[in-house]
Amino acid sequence: MTVALKKPPRSARKPKGDGHMRRGEILAAAEKIFIAEGYAGATIRKIADAVGVSSTALYMHFRDKDQILLEIGKEAIEKLLSINVALSQEPIDAVEKVRRMLDAYMRFAFENPNTYQLVFCGSNEAISVEKQQAVSDLGDRCFDEFSGPIREIAAAGRLKTGTAESAAQVLWAACHGIVSLVITKPSRSWAPAEELMQVTLDGVMHGLIADR
């Protein structure tokens, strides 16, 4: 037993055979199942089977189930974040930036419903707060990129109501509201998604931001 304290000197040692690929394989399989069957449907055993490996093996590469799925969420949000970053650097009006970011946000949600739910619908208390940290941070950074232009707008005195903080949260939330409802209640009869996005954007932008 001793104590086995020795990590620092270990530096070399190439990754073995396909060992370094497993993590990726697992993520790929998990993502496929998760997208098709949602959080509850993506069980450890199913993922392991898909990879062709025992369920225990997943614990070699991930601490637990949540970490696997949150990793998937992380990658998806990184795409969203990069969109937001790109938009925020574009030389366009702040209002236009906000509009495009919200539009991208909603389209992202409709295109990745399960991932969206996992990350933004809290996954319903199923996942502890600390575990979500990494993903939460990314979400925060997305929101930061978004609230930048909002602060510009507020500074220009063009907010009809609320502070930069609350206005940003409300704008974001309005978009979250429509996509999360449509995603989680697909059985209700909704107006066409395109129209809902349009009305949400128009309504909320005109409601909170002065025209000129």
Asked whether position 36 contacts its own copies by CB under 8 A, the answer is no
CB of 61 to DNA, least distance (A): 7
CB of 68 to DNA, least distance (A): 8
Among 55, 123, 169, 180, binds DNA (CB under 7 A): 55
Minimum gap (Å) between residue 51 Cβ and DNA: 8
Q: Which of 1, 7, 40, 52 forms a contact with its own copies (CB under 8 A)?
A: 40
* Cβ 69 to DNA shortest distance, Å: 9
d(CA 197, CA 9): 55
Q: Report d(CA 154, CA 148) in Å as an integer.
A: 10
Of 11 and 189, the one with the shorter C-beta distance to its own copies is 189
Task: Rule CB under 8 A: say whether 154 interacts with its own copies.
Answer: no
The full DSSP string for the chain is: -------TT----PPPTTHHHHHHHHHHHHHHHHHHHHHHH--HHHHHHHHTS-GGGHHHH-SSHHHHHHHHHHHHHHHHHHHHHHHHHSSS-HHHHHHHHHHHHHHHHHHSHHHHHHHHSTTTT-S-TGGGHHHHHHHHHHHHHHHHHHHHHHHTT-BSSS-HHHHHHHHHHHHHHHHHHHHH-TTS-PPPHHHHHHHHHHHHHHHHB---
Examine residue 57 and tell whether it contacts DNA (CB under 7 A): yes
Q: Which is nearer to DNA, 18 or 211 (CB)?
A: 18
Nearer to DNA, 36 or 156 (CB): 36
Instruction: Choose among 107, 19, 118, 104: nearest CA to 75.
Output: 118
We find the least distance from the C-beta atom of residue 161 to DNA, in angstroms, to be 44
Binding site for its own copies (CB under 8 A): 38-41, 117, 120-126, 129, 136, 140, 160-163, 165-167, 169-178, 180-181, 183-185, 187-188, 190-191, 195-196, 198-200, 202-208
Binding site for DNA (CB under 7 A): 4, 6, 10, 12-20, 22, 42-46, 48, 52-57, 59-61, 64-66
